[in-house]
Amino acid sequence: MVVEPIPVMRAAYLNLFRAVSDQSDRHETACLRKFNLPASLERKPGTYVPLNATLLFAQCVAHAVGMENFLLQLSPRLQVPIFGAELRGAVMRSPSLGAALENFTRLVDHEQSNVHCRISRRGDEVQISSSVARAALSDADFIGEWLRVMSVVAVVRHFAGECWMPLEITLQSHREPGPRVRRACSRTRVTTGQAETAIAFPASLPGLSTDRICHLDARADLPGIQSAASSPATWSFPIALREIIQAHLDEGYPDISLAASIFGCSVRTLQRRLKEFDLSYTDVVQQARFNVATHLLRDPGTKVIDAAFAVGYEDPSHFTRAFRQVAGVTPNQYRRLNYAH
C-alpha cells in the first residue's frame, strides 16, 4: 500500500496569517495549539508545517477579521522575499519574467508540497494553472487558492510593478469574492467553480526584464528571513513527518502522540506506516534533530549547548552522544570538518 505524505507548507505563510490576525497573543496561541501548530516560528520561516492545519488556522483568522479584510491584508505582504531560499534565489536571478515563471513552476512544491503548476498558451494570453489533490470547497481551501494565486502574482509584480493585476483569475471554489476584493481586482475577470486555479495575462508579458535582478547566493538569507538548510527534492511520508517534527523541536521532544494527532491517525497506525519504510518514530526524530543541529552548527556563534537545547535535549552530553551516533564525530568535530573558514 502506498503511504501518501501529509501536505506541508513553509512556516513563512503561517507567519503571514499571524501578521493579519488581530487576536490577543493568548487567544492566538490557543488557536495554534488547537491545530497542533508551533507558536515559536517567527524566526524559522523555512521550517515546514502541516498544510491543512495551517489553512484551518488561517480560516480562524479570516473569520475574526472578516474574509475580505483578510485577503486584502494578505496580498501586499506576499512578496518574493517571503519565498524559501531556492525559489527566491531562482526568481531574483531570472533575466526575464518568463524565466522566473519557469523557475516558479519547477520549485513551487518547495513552498507547498502538494502544488503543481504549469504554463500554457491560450491565444494571445499565457495561463499559469495550479492544482491540488482535492477540489477547493471550504473556506480554508478558498484561502489556499488565493494564496496560490497571490504567489504567482508576486512573481509577476517583481517584474511588472506592485500595481500589476492579471487579466483573469479562475478559482475552483464556488465562493464569490466580496465587493471590496472585486473593486481591488476591477481590471481582472474573476470566475469561480472552474476546473483549475489559474491566472491569465498577455502573452507579451513574459519578455519583461527587470533591473532588480539579485545576484545573491541562492542559499543566502535576506534580512529578517531564516531559511531551512535545504528543501526536500521529493516528498514522502517519512520526509513530511521529519520536516514537521523539526518545527516542534525547540518545544522539547515531540511525543509520538503529537505526531499521530497531526497526521490524524492513531499511534499504532503511525508506527505501522513508518514500518513500511523500515523506520521507527525514533529514527525520524533523530534525523530531524540531526538536520536542524547541522544547520545551526554552520553559525560559528552558535554554541553546541545552544544547539542541543534548540533540538529538544535537556542534557548536552546526550545530544553529543546522539549526534556522534549519526555523524560518527562529535558536534565540534563536525563543525571543524565541514564549516571551517
DSSP string, 223-277: TT----S---SS--HHHHHHHHHHHHGGGS---HHHHHHHHTS-HHHHHHHHHTT
Domains assigned to the chain: 66-207 (no CATH), 237-338 (1.10.10.60)
Phi, psi at 202, each rounded to 5° = -60, 145
| Nearest alpha carbon to residue 57 among 23, 18, 101 | 18
Q: Residue 176's beta-bridge partner residues? A: none
Q: What is the pLDDT of residue 21?
A: 82
Q: What is the pLDDT of residue 225?
A: 35
Please give the single-letter amino acid code of residue 189.
Answer: R
Q: Is the four-CA dihedral 96, 232, 237, 266 of positive or negative sign?
A: negative
Phi, psi at 237, each rounded to 5° = -60, -50
What residue has cell string 544547520?
295
C-alpha 154 chain-centroid distance: 15
Q: Residue 128's beta-bridge partner residues? A: 119, 199
pLDDT in tens, the chain (341 residues): 556 778 999 999 999 999 888 766 678 888 888 999 988 888 788 899 999 999 999 999 999 889 999 999 999 999 999 999 999 999 999 999 999 999 999 999 999 998 889 999 888 999 999 876 554 468 888 999 999 999 999 999 999 999 899 999 999 988 888 899 989 888 899 999 898 999 999 999 999 987 654 444 444 443 333 444 455 657 888 999 999 999 998 888 889 999 999 888 899 999 999 999 999 999 999 999 999 998 888 888 889 998 888 888 888 888 898 888 888 888 888 888 876 65
Q: What is the pLDDT of residue 135?
A: 47
Q: What is the pLDDT of residue 151?
A: 96
Q: What is the pLDDT of residue 340?
A: 61
Q: What is the pTM of this model?
A: 0.85
